[in-house]
Amino acid sequence: MSRTSQTETAVLGALSVMPMTGYAVREAIRDVLGHFWSESYGQIYPTLARLAAAGLVDRDAPDAGAAYRLTPEGLERLRELLAEPVQPSVPRNGLLLRLFFGRHLGVEACRGLLADVRLAAEAQLAGYAAIREGIAAEERTEGDRPFWLLTVSAGEHAARGTIDWAEEALAGLAGMDDPAASQEASPAAPAGAAR
């Protein structure tokens, strides 16, 4: 049973909060889990169809607009899936890839990337504050609240780590002129020219 495409987990999980149409599932995943998860229609609709065929979800009518809801078997299955070991995801960080080869990219461009990422992390941090309030305000979140706040906190810690790192890195690069590699990486052929 390791055929677990985590999409199933995410969809069952979403429906465990409240019954929803497929469209709403997608919106919920984007809006609520957005900072650590994503699903596209191309995944969600076929998954819902399979789940319905397996009796893990159902709906009052097969009409468009009818909400899917979790069956007792679906809840059971969700618990199984959640209990499976976390599968390690492949790390692929385009930013670090660029910085690693920063000698070829040029110090100036690296500074630009770091400045961008620091700004983005600060914006995220502000966003988390808003989400936090939203969760605190909702009454219906009852038993879920501590867990939801946990994931927000993870985002906040990550963002703060990124900000600290970026500032440290910028300070470290501050002194450097565009170095030996300069014969090429510098203003002569500026970033704008390349496509």
Partner DNA sequence: TGTCTCATGTAATCCGTTACATGATTGG
Partner DNA sequence: CCAATCATGTAACGGATTACATGAGACA
Q: Which residues bind DNA (CB under 7 A)?
A: 3, 5-7, 21-24, 38-43, 45-46, 48-49, 64-66, 90, 92
Quote the tokens at residue 10. Answer: 């995410």
User: Which helix (H) or strand (E) covers residue 75, if one does?
Assistant: helix 72-83
State which of residues 61, 137, 150, 174 lies at the interface with a second copy (CB under 8 A): 150
d(CA 190, CA 193): 6
Reduced to 3 states, what is the DSSP secondary structure of residue 195?
coil
| Residue among 62 and 89 whose Cβ is closer to a second copy | 89
Q: Could you tell me which stretch among 20-28, 49-57, 128-136, 151-159 binds a second copy (CB under 8 A)?
A: 151-159
23 interface partner picked from DNA, a second copy, none, CB below 5 to 8 A per type:
DNA
Q: In whole angstroms, what is the distance from residue 40 CA to residue 159 CA?
A: 25
Which residues in 157-176 contact a second copy (CB under 8 A)?
157-158, 160-162, 164-165, 168-169, 172-173, 176
> Per CB under 8 A, does 184 bind a second copy?
yes
Binding partner at 179 among a second copy, DNA, none, C-beta below 5 to 8 Å by kind: a second copy
User: Long-range CB contacts (< 8 A, 24+ apart) of 169-174?
Assistant: 169/99, 169/114, 170/111, 170/114, 170/115, 170/118, 173/107, 173/110, 173/111, 173/114
Residue 194 makes contact with a second copy by CB under 8 A: yes
Q: Could you say whether residue 133 binds a second copy (CB under 8 A)?
A: no
- Cβ nearer to a second copy, comparing 63 with 89: 89
Stretch of 3-11, 20-28, 47-55, 121-129 lying at the interface with a second copy (CB under 8 A): 3-11
Nearer Cβ to a second copy (24/105): 105
Between 49 and 154, whose beta carbon lies closer to DNA?
49
Q: Is 42 in the site for a second copy (CB under 8 A)?
A: no
**3-state DSSP helix/strand/coil % of the chain, to nearest 5:** 65, 5, 30
Task: List strand residue ranges (DSSP E) for the chain, in order.
Answer: 57-59, 68-70
Is 110 one of the binding residues for a second copy (CB under 8 A)? yes
CB neighbour list of residue 60: distance below 8 Å, 6 or more residues apart: 66, 67
